[in-house]
Amino acid sequence: LSSSCGTSRNFPHFQMAAPTLSFESFRRARATVEDFARSYFPLHRVPVDAFLNFMDVLYFVEASLYEADERNEASVEARPDGSIRSRESLSAQLGSTCRQTLEDCAHREPAWMAMVDLLKARGLLDSNVRRLLEDGLEYWALERRLCAAPLEASVAEAQRALSLKSFDYRVLNRLMYQLRGAPYDEPMIACMHEAELLVEIEDDLKDYGKDVARNSFNIYRVYAREYRERAAEEMAAFIAQIEERYLKFRAAAMDEGLLAAHIARNEEQSSAGPAMAPSTGRWEIPVPILDEEPLRRLSAGVARVPLLFVPPGSTCGVGSEEVPSARCNRLHE
């Protein structure tokens, strides 16, 4: 693989014995890899139009992870009434929520085995990539438990799941450094870890009503059950802690040019609050649903989940200059 943006590397020939990936996995991987290229390539100082130089490895790895993820999602399905339907899959074969190794499932799951073999053959499976892939196994095991009993999750379990969820982006990012022949930029990696947490929280807040209706795991559902009327306040405080770390790591990792490119991409997506997107980003934390069953009954008869109420409030949060405290329902107006 050769690119004017990085060091050329000659990889040994790799041949799969049989097809391992579905079209659906490739279709789902497409949007993720595109977002990765547009969001992370500038931080590698690589133009987005150099994507074809890296496409084969990035696309194959992400599609393999989606293939394994589909099997994990099929293993435990939470019905609206709270009962559980189990299906045999990769995750059912693993069967445990303890920390798994790559070898624990490589021989059981063709797509996972093919991905691991590819990374080994190309010298890309270092200790960091291995750890992140094992983070993925831990996340899927935890996800099974949380989806099977979403209202029994602790705040600590929900936060752990959140911290693991973006493991695929972290794998792709580490692989990009290797494909470029560049050393890992640990300050940048630490910064993007915090950014990924903020994006995952934003997704859960936007999907809160849908996840209540579907009885699916959502970190804000856990906060609503644990903190009741104080859920929005506690979530705002949690977000503010992550934003503070993000800004600290960003200051250490990015020069003026990288920061401008990063902020521009965030603004393009109105991304995850004012710390990441000062002009367009804002946090909207819904009023917690203290009795979920009426919403589920109402949602069962309509095509769309009813809109949830987000109360007006003061501007606050790390990204705001008006109020220093993040403890309010609207972090940014």
Instruction: Grade residue 150 by pLDDT with cuts at 50, 70 and 90.
Output: confident
- CA distance linking residue 284 with residue 161, whole number of Å: 21
Q: Would you state the pLDDT for residue 145?
A: 85
Whether the per-residue pLDDT at 23 is higher than 60: the answer is yes
In angstroms, the Cα distances linking 296 to 38, 116, 284, 292, 301 are 37, 41, 22, 6, 9
Average pLDDT over residues 46-58: 92
Q: Would you state the pLDDT for residue 72?
A: 60
Listed residue (328, 332, 236, 218) closest to 276, CA to CA: 332
CB contact at 8 A, 154 and 51: no
- CA distance linking residue 110 with residue 137, whole number of Å: 15
Q: Would you state the pLDDT for residue 78?
A: 46
Cβ neighbour number for residue 325 with a 10 Å cutoff = 13
Model confidence pLDDT, tens digit, residues 87-118: 334 344 334 446 778 777 655 677 888 899 99
Listed residue (271, 248, 84, 70) closest to 62, CA to CA: 70
Element (H, E) at 9: none
What predicted TM-score, i.e. pTM, was given to this entire model?
A: 0.80
Instruction: Grade residue 215 by pLDDT with cuts at 50, 70 and 90.
Output: confident
Average pLDDT over residues 35-64: 94
Task: Compute CA 103 distance to the chain's CA centroid, rounded to the nearest angstrom.
Answer: 24
CB contact at 8 A, 284 and 315: no
Whether the per-residue pLDDT at 160 is higher than 90: the answer is yes
